[in-house]
């Protein structure tokens, strides 16, 4: 087993630590929650454990479907072992319905279907307020090549198809999600996390959010929503019976 070393980086919901293997890192998932660029802060009890488990499920699902990613194994309820990638500082957002900033920026009704799905890029820079950028910005700033971005977009859309189909089986609709990518031994891998902190998941029948929006919008029952999402993903329906 690798040994956890110094703190490499800390974000809104995670800490990433070095290990005694230079090709591996350990991710720790926190309960702290943040919204509106840090203006709203709080704590969601058990969030770290849920996000660790949900990310594990999603990354394992991607691996089964041939999508390379950084995930290696779960260490315990809050820690996971991952490949230590060089993160490309661009957040890739895939949007199936209008919500959040997209609805505000474009004057779209919340919930309007996006056909085809919208793919957006945001520069990962908190000082600049994570501005939206396009492919030519990314190339001009030497962040990634045109070929790398082509591969990233193609992979993001494949991930969308995989997640959408999987979540549909448990009566959850994938509204949108954020991906990050990293370089590892000459390859581009999906990295970071896929969780209710980084995606919008709606109950497909009630349209109730099962994600961080409950915290952002003061909708209440935040912990219960996170647990419900994990509950369904682990193979249980609302009545507590195993999915067939």
Domain assignments of the chain as residue spans, ordered by start: 4-85, 87-223
CATH number of 4-85: 3.30.200.20
Q: Which CATH number fits domain 87-223: 3.40.50.300, 3.90.1140.10, 3.40.50.2020, 3.30.470.20?
A: 3.30.470.20
- The reported pLDDT for the residue numbered 35 is 76
Residue pair 159/147 in contact by the 8 Å Cβ criterion? no
Residues 6+ apart with CB under 8 A from 174: 96, 160, 163, 164, 167, 199, 200, 201
- The reported pLDDT for the residue numbered 241 is 45
Q: What is the rounded distance in angstroms from the CA atom of residue 128 to the CA atom of residue 110?
A: 27
- The reported pLDDT for the residue numbered 36 is 67
Give the count of beta carbons closer than 10 Å to the beta carbon of residue 149. Answer: 22
Q: Do domains 4-85 and 87-223 have the same CATH topology?
A: no
pLDDT in 10s for each residue of the chain, 244 residues: 788 999 999 998 999 999 999 999 999 999 988 876 666 789 899 999 999 999 999 999 999 999 999 999 999 999 999 999 999 999 999 999 999 999 999 999 999 999 999 999 999 998 999 999 999 999 999 999 999 999 999 999 999 999 999 999 999 999 999 999 999 999 999 999 999 999 999 999 999 999 999 999 999 999 999 999 999 999 844 444 444 4
Q: What is the rounded distance in angstroms from the CA atom of residue 89 to the CA atom of residue 87?
A: 6
Residues 6+ apart with CB under 8 A from 187: 68
């Amino acid at each position: 087993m690798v040994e956890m070393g110094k703190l490499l980086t800390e974000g809104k919901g995670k800490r990433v630590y070095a290990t005694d293997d230079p090709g591996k890192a350990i991710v720790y998932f926190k309960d702290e929650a943040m919204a509106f660029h840090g203006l709203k802060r709080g704590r969601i009890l058990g969030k770290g454990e849920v996000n660790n488990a949900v990310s594990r499920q999603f990354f394992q699902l991607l691996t089964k479907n041939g999508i390379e990613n950084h995930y290696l194994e779960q260490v315990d309820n809050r820690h996971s072992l991952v490949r230590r990638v060089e993160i490309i500082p661009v957040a890739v957002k895939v949007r199936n319905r209008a919500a959040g900033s997209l609805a505000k920026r474009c004057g779209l009704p919340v919930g309007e279907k996006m056909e085809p799905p919208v793919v957006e890029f945001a520069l990962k820079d908190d000082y600049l307020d994570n501005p939206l950028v396009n492919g030519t910005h990314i190339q001009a700033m030497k962040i990634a090549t045109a070929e790398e971005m082509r591969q990233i977009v193609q992979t993001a859309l494949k991930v969308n198809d995989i997640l959408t189909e999987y979540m549909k089986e448990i009566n959850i609709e994938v509204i949108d999600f954020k991906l990050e990518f990293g370089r590892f031994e000459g390859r581009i891998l999906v990295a970071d996390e896929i969780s209710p902190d980084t995606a919008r998941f709606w109950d497909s029948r009630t349209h109730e959010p099962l994600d961080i929006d409950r915290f952002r919008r003061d909708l209440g029952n935040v912990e219960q929503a996170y647990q419900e999402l994990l509950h369904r993903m682990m193979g249980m329906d609302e009545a507590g019976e195993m999915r067939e």
